[in-house]
Amino acid sequence: MDKLDFKEKVWGFIFGIIAIASAVAEMISGGISWSAFWGMLKDIASTAVVIVVGYAFINSIPKKAKDATGKLETAVLEWGMNNTPLIFKAENLRTPQNSNYTQGYLLLQYPDKYVDLVKGNLNPESPEWIDYATYNGGKKYTGRFLIMPDFDAMTKKPFTVNFSMKQKHFESIASFDENVDIIIKALNARFNDNRVFAKPVGKREFEVSYQPLTTDDDISMFIDSLDFVLSMVKVII
């Protein structure tokens, strides 16, 4: 039905332009007179409605983003830096075998360190940065939070990302498994119009499925969904 509606509006727009051109040509070929002029004006007015609707519809069609891969990468990296030092872009990340995941983010294991890290202005140039950004590092300040495919793959075909809530501080939260279920349900409710679907895949772990991110709106929606999950985690913490 969506495809039929699309074709109907586009063809209506095209034939509307043809009708107006024909009305003008008819008046000129038949001789210019006041009666011919008012007849032409009536034909144009009745057809213009179709053209305006068709033009508005065509302009509303989401346009593919130029360099969608680059825009997505910029947006995700910016999202990560805006939420540091709660999350860190993972270094030396190990992903599940036979998966399409190639990159991800780590979540602070002990939230009580957050304020100290903010005060200390922790950043990628800080000597301590690698202690937090290294996956499964010796000091284990962080734990796996989010893994995803490479940026190019996410703009070319449907994909999933994986969220893990197995950090140590969650272990002390009563009924935390119920909180994970709440996050999944809230995510599905919030993004139900964007062909996004979250489902549990293990204890305190869930996947979110997306369609290819080809437009600027798609990329914004993807970042919003990541931010939504992280916001829910902040509330729980």
Query: For every one of its 237 residues, what pLDDT tens digit does the chain have, with 9 covering 90 and above?
Result: 455 556 666 665 666 566 666 666 666 666 666 566 656 566 666 566 665 665 565 555 555 657 999 999 999 999 999 999 999 999 888 888 888 999 999 998 877 788 888 888 788 888 888 888 887 665 678 889 999 999 999 999 999 999 998 877 777 777 778 889 999 999 999 998 878 999 999 888 999 999 999 999 999 999 999 999 999 988 887
Rounded to a whole number of angstroms, the distance between the first and last alpha carbons of the chain is 45
Query: Which residues form the domain of 29?
Result: 2-60
Indicate whether 33 and 81 sit together in one domain. Answer: no
Indicate whether 51 and 168 sit together in one domain. Answer: no
Contact 191, 181 (CB under 8 A): no
Contact 147, 104 (CB under 8 A): yes
Indicate whether 84 and 136 sit together in one domain. Answer: yes
Residue (of 116, 112, 109) closest to 87 by Cα position: 109
Query: Measured between alpha carbons, how far is residue 160 from residues 70, 211, 217, 219 in Å?
Result: 19, 9, 18, 14
Indicate whether 45 and 93 sit together in one domain. Answer: no
Indicate whether 35 and 77 sit together in one domain. Answer: no
- Domains held by the chain: number: 2
Q: Among 10, 31, 60, where does a domain finish?
A: 60
Q: Among 14, 39, 60, where does a domain finish?
A: 60
Indicate whether 153 and 51 sit together in one domain. Answer: no
Q: State whether residue 210 is helix, strand or coil.
A: strand
Distance CA 94, CA 78 (A): 22
Contact 166, 204 (CB under 8 A): yes
Indicate whether 175 and 207 sit together in one domain. Answer: yes
pTM of the model: 0.72
Query: Measured between alpha carbons, how far is residue 144 from residues 35, 64, 92 in Å?
Result: 77, 32, 12
Indicate whether 181 and 210 sit together in one domain. Answer: yes
What per-residue confidence (pLDDT) applies to 171? Answer: 75
Indicate whether 41 and 124 sit together in one domain. Answer: no
Indicate whether 83 and 101 sit together in one domain. Answer: yes
Query: What contacts 227, CB < 8 A, 6 or more positions away?
Result: 79, 83
What per-residue confidence (pLDDT) applies to 120? Answer: 81
